[in-house]
Amino acid sequence: MYEFAIAWEWLAFAVRWLHVITAIAWIGSSFYFIALDLGLVKRDHLPVGAYGEEWQVHGGGFYHIQKYLVAPATMPEHLTWFKWESYATWLSGFAMLCLVYYGGADLFLIDRHVLDISATTAIAISIGSLAIGWIFYDLLCKSPLGKNTWTLMGILYVALVLMAWGYTQVFTGRAAFLHLGAFTATIMSANVFFIIMPNQRVVVADLIAGRTPDPKYGVIAKQRSLHNNYLTLPVIFFMLSNHYPLAFATAYNWVIAALVFLMGVTIRHWFNTTHARKGRPTWTWIVTLIIFIAIMWLSTVPKVLTGEDKAEVAPAFQQFAANAHFPAVKDAISTRCSMCHSAEPVYEGINRAPKGVMLENDAEIASHAREIYIQAGRSHAMPPGNITDMTNDERKLVTAWFESAVSEGKTE
């Protein structure tokens, strides 16, 4: 059923489209509110219970916003909630995790040179780590250690670095970075779902009942949204990093990840300070630049293959290597693709296998069958600009190879 591979590809695209849109909505509204919050000005004429106000101009009109802490005296008639931006981002992100990493576990999640585990074990570790991460974080925030903002942030940082290291010991570098992003984003979304929203509902119930809401709810929400504020940029880095093998597939990838979390703080600090009208701390950009250069430098350390060499074809892909078309496909790949897609590319200007995709031996070609089919069989995305003159017959061959191997695999 090759139709399945095509539908899968489109489904992955659709879910990615959705995920990016919801993430824009979530991060956009969250950045907006952080900036608004920091920019609020206290004035004498403010109504009772109002903490500050701000004037803004946008889209052909002026906005006059006032913030009430913890709530106004009575329940307003209309109240807009911000929660689906966050939930939809998490749900679509989890759907992508399932499609790309659970669906393609043998290729994207598991690296048998790192840890030889089954797809089921890998998926269990993945889901388990996300759940445990939230529980640990939440208990930590509620514990006495959570009372001091900076102690708490320090412990959280150490925990994130440990996770970065841990994930690289279990998964492919690509999956490790993606999981670090998902781990952090799960904490952020769970903050909204389990803490911020329920607390806001308590406050609303108090208002309706005519009780004065407890200010502690505002304080808790503030702590959690402070964490979300500093975690946002690293999460986006990790989500995008799977396009940049130098970040995720080099020897010190976990150290790079640790530095990325620091950049999240230094960059956000500049914006937070500026939005609070407390000056423009240029030093944060200098520190950010130094960290970035350190990351680039770390990524040049070559990764050495550890463990035994596993060049034999993994069971999940044997049907592609056993197919009758395989020898001819292998020939086509070595003349049209391997000059770029190898451990040491010979193509001028390409220094590393693009996207970490190597197509040299049977195991590598068989395991990338679906990608080869989509990139060079069904579409003409590869070779780029058909620079190596791949012929129509070779593309037909690649298509026939994948489609017949898939249908043979099904009839077994």
Choose the stretch contacting ligand HEC; rule: CB under 6 A; options: 32-40, 46-54, 323-331, 366-374.
Answer: 366-374
- The residue whose Cβ lies closest to ligand HEC is 337
What is the smallest separation between the CB atom of 394 and ligand HEC, expressed in angstroms? 8
What's the CA gap between 229 and 225, in Å, rounded? 6
What is the smallest separation between the CB atom of 381 and ligand HEC, expressed in angstroms? 7
Q: Give the nearer residue to ligand HEC in terms of CB position, either 16 or 83.
A: 16
Q: Give the nearer residue to ligand HEC in terms of CB position, either 14 or 145.
A: 14
Q: What's the burial of 139, exposed, middle or buried (CB within 10 Å: 0-12/13-18/19+)? A: exposed
Our finding on whether 357 is near ligand HEC (CB under 6 A) is yes
Residues 367-406 contacting ligand HEC, CB under 6 A? 368, 371-372, 375-376, 382-384, 387-388, 390
Q: Give the nearer residue to ligand HEC in terms of CB position, either 371 or 403.
A: 371
- Which amino acid type is present at position 308? E
What's the CA gap between 340 and 300, in Å, rounded? 19
What's the CA gap between 157 and 144, in Å, rounded? 17
Task: Check if the beta carbon of residue 201 is closer than 8 Å to that of residue 301.
Answer: no
What is the smallest separation between the CB atom of 243 and ligand HEC, expressed in angstroms? 6
Q: Give the nearer residue to ligand HEC in terms of CB position, either 70 or 376.
A: 376
Among 49, 72, 281, 354, binds ligand HEC (CB under 6 A): 354
Residue 354's Cβ-side half-sphere holds a number of Cα atoms within 13 Å equal to: 13
Our finding on whether 99 is near ligand HEC (CB under 6 A) is no
Q: Give the nearer residue to ligand HEC in terms of CB position, either 96 or 152.
A: 96
Q: Which residues of 358-391 are buried (b: 16+ CB within 10 A; e: fewer)?
A: bbbebbbbbbbbbbbbbbbbbeeebbeeeeeebe
What is the smallest separation between the CB atom of 253 and ligand HEC, expressed in angstroms? 18
Find all residues with CB under 8 Å of 71, minimum gap 6, and list them: 49, 203, 204, 206, 207, 213
Among 355, 380, 400, 404, binds ligand HEC (CB under 6 A): 355
Q: Give the nearer residue to ligand HEC in terms of CB position, either 307 or 384.
A: 384
Q: Give the nearer residue to ligand HEC in terms of CB position, either 214 or 331.
A: 331
The span from the first CA to the last CA of the chain, in angstroms, equals 13
Tokens representing 172?
């492919």
Tokens representing 327?
């020898």
Q: Give the nearer residue to ligand HEC in terms of CB position, either 158 or 381.
A: 381
Residues 278-337 contacting ligand HEC, CB under 6 A? 333, 336-337
Among 295, 341, 358, 369, binds ligand HEC (CB under 6 A): 341
Tokens representing 197?
């929203």
What is the smallest separation between the CB atom of 174 and ligand HEC, expressed in angstroms? 10
Q: What's the burial of 336, exposed, middle or buried (CB within 10 Å: 0-12/13-18/19+)? A: buried
Task: Note the Cα 103 to chain centre separation in Å.
Answer: 17
What's the CA gap between 395 and 378, in Å, rounded? 8
Closest to 30 in 3D by CA, of 231, 187, 273, 214? 231
Q: Give the nearer residue to ligand HEC in terms of CB position, either 93 or 377.
A: 377
What is the smallest separation between the CB atom of 129 and ligand HEC, expressed in angstroms? 24
Q: How many residues bind ligand HEC (CB under 6 A)?
A: 22
What is the smallest separation between the CB atom of 244 and ligand HEC, expressed in angstroms? 9
Our finding on whether 207 is near ligand HEC (CB under 6 A) is no
Please report, as ranges, the residues that interact with ligand HEC according to CB under 6 A: 333, 336-337, 339-341, 347, 350, 354-355, 357, 368, 371-372, 375-376, 382-384, 387-388, 390
